Chain A
Amino acid sequence: MAKQSDQVHAPVGGRLFTPMFFGLGLLVLVAGFFLFNRFVFGLGSVTNLSDGYPWGIWIAIDLVVGTALGCAGYAVALLVYILNRGEYHPLVRPALLASLFGYALGGAAVMIDLGRYWQGYNMFLPWLSQYNSVMLETALCIAAYITVLMVEFSPVFLERLGMKNIRRRLDKVLFIFIGLGVLLPTMHQSSMGTILVVLGHQLSPLWQTQLLPLLFLTSALFMGFAIVVFEAVLASVGFRRPMEAFILNKLSTVMAWLLLGFVVVRIADLLFRGDIVLAFRANLDALMFWVEIALHVTALVLLWPRRIPASPRRMFLSASTMLAAGAVYRINCYLVGYHPGDGWNYFPSVGEIMVTVGIFALEIMLYLVFVKRLPVLHTVDRAYREEHAAQAREGGAAAVGQAT
């Protein structure tokens, strides 16, 4: 394994207050308006939540999909530090940043959604802890992981502030946090699947299985990798930087295997239980099931390893399809496949949608501010370009400079 000792990070620079910044800011303000109403008049005044559908998109999308998008740091840390694939190192910091925002805002969404948020701290009181609750495990794990992410990302601040001593001291124990940073998402991402097992017959057999934890863990991993690719392509286009095409192309192979594993287990489980017949009925469940499967298979086809490295366009397309596939699977599990009984229905209200949009807008805003002002992305200098070219030649790939 080649030593990756020459990765230096630097702020991208540039104006903060771009038209895009103000556009996103406007969306955040709109979300703020609805949140004001939620806290003054109650959840019912803003959301379409009911006793039939007590959980809506703030849980299904903001938390369950949002934290999966936040698995970038998990996936890359696993690859770089545990499997020792040092060549992926330039992806670590942007991935950690995406994770930090994904999880912090997912956690914020939960606080907004909690009906008795002022007692939310009860989760952390050991004498109230109920250890059979999958949610307790998930919540504590997520809270711990947000802390771990802050520690993992703190070198960026320390570097910016020139605090080299603390930085060196932190470095001595950082490996513990890296270990935790892989353990905790393994636990809570699988648990987000286990959370649904207790729903029993209320969740359609198309999704209800004891394999939910395994399926959620796998989808978290491939969504984590997909968001890394997604961001890398956007960053290279947006900031006119060379793209880590070679690295990303190799990543595609990892993703393809994970995706294949997911699809095989998913279908085998349905065949084994015999519940696949439900997929051939004329209803929303069956339709959404096929949308979910079609997205997974499309992503798999787009990703399938080939000799010629994929173009940035193709990589972006496959990553987006994967993200959509994982998101639809999660929404199917948490909302579409849930049947509380006759007379109940749910579709998110404008307020719910705008709060979700606002949270994602805030995430993008913060991401832009961070990469422009803090050393998150690696510096693009001559040495870096040369090394990349060498790597590409070594691997027989020629797609490195494509985005430049």
Chain B
Amino acid sequence: MALNRRDFLKLATVDGAVGAAAAGSTMLAADTASAQLLQRPPRPMPEEAVGLLYDSTLCIGCRACQVACKRANGMPIDIPETYEAWNGGTWDTPTDLSGDTLTVIQVYQDGTMEVKDRETDGFAFIKRQCMHCTDASCISVCPVSAMTKDPVTGVVTHHPDRCIGCRYCVLACPFGVPRYEFDNPFGQIQKCQLCTNVPDRDIPACADVCPTGATLYGRTTDLQQEAERRLGMAPGETYRFPRGALGDDRASHEAPIAHYQSAVYGEQILGGTQVRMLAGVPFADLGMPHDVPDYSYASITEGIQHTLYKYFIAPAVLLAGLVYFAYKNARSHRPEDWD
């Protein structure tokens, strides 16, 4: 008669060599806070990793960084559809990252917008660009190694000549950074590469032109120390903010220390990023991911994959079993007319 429970269990065992492994171990692992069972260890940051320190409280929203970025990368101006009515077509007015815009200054506004860097009735700026993750999702998901991490500087670089345009990186990036040129029949993925792609540039264009030192270039470990120094000072105290690159000889910008949020953004979030940020308002208000784990999501996916497919043992064993049964059973169903 019909398949009974025993048959069903048999079905489950045969099919489930891979599936059951996933079931058993992931059931245990299912969201026990940060300790995920099928997780590979986090990737360490390269010692000489470089990045940016963006201090929102120093940013005056002049957008010089946007302009310099466009010029350095040779990218066209970007006018959102909603601005077309009054923008004659010469003024670059991006509101978000796009296939034509690798960095953008956005603004947080609340109530009367009276005081800068205040959450209520205030406003604050945020600079968006690639965060150059320590353990980047875009690199983990790319099937053809079109996203790579420089082993020395840790800069996440894109290679259009390898890219197949599947846009998995666009989907997976938790910061919404990689963008695709949807209006181009031969479009490509665009993202900030810290100007490593621009010939004859020592430091990224955005940091180079920033008048207040809000965007500062340097080794990530040095930038972290710089950020912690600022956090350790009393609000209102005068401080000489470096400009351009940490440790270069240009004149510093003297200004009072602002009321900072208590932590450096990017130190731990999602496995850490080489771009670090300071702000006077919560990063949630600035549209940045918050309430997210300290590990990279890639460490979970890769944990699952490399457990199920370790040395290809499970699939090989499963295949051997399947081939054995197929060999045994196919014989008994051979139609007569084959001979």
Contacts and interface: CB of A to CB of B under 8 A. Distances in A.
A214 B330 contact: no
A254 B3 contact: yes
A345 interface: no
A54 B31 contact: no
B319 A179 contact: yes
B300 interface: yes
A199 B170 CA distance: 11
B19 A217 contact: yes
Contact of B329 (A6, A52, A84, A252): A84
B202 interface: no
B325 interface: yes
A341 B30 contact: no
Given A6-B336, A130-B145, A135-B143, A122 B325 contact: no
Contacts of A119: 144, 161-165
Nearest to A268: B27
B318 interface: yes
B164 A114 contact: yes
A139 interface: yes
Given A7-B335, A135-B141, A183-B319, A198 B26 contact: no
Contacts, number: 292
B103 interface: no
Interface residues of A, number: 103
Nearest to B31: A273
Contacts of A263: none
B315 interface: yes
Contacts of B336: 5-6
Given A42-B182, A114-B164, A129-B145, A210 B323 contact: no
B54 interface: no
A178 interface: yes
Contact of A214 (B26, B145, B305, B334): B26
A82 B322 contact: yes
Contacts of A217: 15, 18-19
Contact of B338 (A114, A168, A341): A168
Interface in B98-141: 98-99, 137, 139-141
A194 B143 contact: no
A265 B181 CA distance: 40
Interface in B286-324: 287, 289, 291-293, 297-298, 300-302, 304-306, 308-309, 315, 318-319, 322-324
A305 B22 CA distance: 29
Interface residues on B, range: 35 or more
A199 B166 CA distance: 15
A356 interface: no
B59 interface: no
Interface string A130-169: 1011111101000000000000000000000000100110
Interface stretch (B6-14, B212-220, B228-236, B247-255): B6-14
Interface in B157-197: 160-168, 170-172, 174, 176, 179-189
A122 B167 contact: no
B84 to A, nearest CB: 16
Interface string B273-296: 000000000000001010111000
A122 B144 contact: yes
A179 B326 contact: yes
A252 B33 CA distance: 40
A43 B330 contact: no
Given A119-B163, A137-B305, A210-B304, A186 B143 contact: no
Contact of B144 (A6, A110, A129): A129
B166 A114 contact: yes
A134 B301 CA distance: 8
A50 B182 contact: yes
B200 interface: no
B3 A175 contact: no
Nearest to B18: A186
Contact of A250 (B3, B12, B30, B293): B3
Interface in B69-102: 96-99
Nearest to B24: A214
A252 to B, nearest CB: 8
5 contacts: A43-B182, A51-B182, A89-B333, A190-B19, A200-B174
Interface of B: 1-3, 5, 7-8, 10-12, 14-15, 18-19, 22-23, 26-27, 29-31, 36, 38, 96-99, 137, 139-145, 160-168, 170-172, 174, 176, 179-189, 270, 287, 289, 291-293, 297-298, 300-302, 304-306, 308-309, 315, 318-319, 322-330, 332-339
Smallest CB-CB A-B distances: 3 pairs: A115-B165, A44-B182, A116-B165
Given A133-B143, A178-B330, 15 more contacts: A4-B335, A51-B99, A114-B164, A115-B189, A116-B160, A119-B144, A119-B164, A128-B145, A175-B327, A180-B322, A186-B318, A198-B172, A210-B22, A210-B38, A213-B304
Interface of A: 1, 3-8, 39-45, 47, 49-52, 54-55, 78-86, 89, 110, 113-117, 119-120, 122-123, 125, 128-130, 132-137, 139, 164, 167-168, 171, 174-176, 178-180, 182-183, 186-187, 190-191, 194-195, 197-202, 209-211, 213-214, 217-218, 221, 249-250, 252-254, 257, 261, 265, 269, 272-273, 305, 338, 340-343, 395-396
